[in-house]
Structures are given as C-alpha cells and as structure tokens.
Amino acid sequence: MRNVLAHGYDSLDPDRIRDAVEKNLPKLARDIREVVGQTD
C-alpha cells in the first residue's frame, strides 16, 4: 500500500489515477517482479 500511495493512487480522480499508472508502469512492473521473486 505504501508503494500505491507513493505512486499517486491516493487520488480518486480516474484521470489522475490513469496518468499515474501510465507514468509508473515500468516501476510497477519492477515492483511486481520483486514481490513475486522474479528478475529481468
């Protein structure tokens, strides 16, 4: 949840959420791989 808030998902505005998701997709992908124990 800390990462979610850090990426700006604390906003409930769909446009802002979508922008935050698009800007942070590469970092999110890295975070997800780290969580599941995979590496590039």
d(CA 24, CA 34): 15
Residue 1: the pLDDT is 45
Residue 13: the pLDDT is 78
> How confident is the model over 1-40, as pLDDT tens digits?
455 555 555 557 788 878 888 888 888 888 888 888 876 5
**Strand positions, DSSP E, 1-40:** none
Residue 22: the pLDDT is 86
Tally of CA atoms within 13 A in the half-sphere of 32 that contains its CB = 6
pTM of the model: 0.37
Residue 4: the pLDDT is 53
Residue 31: the pLDDT is 87
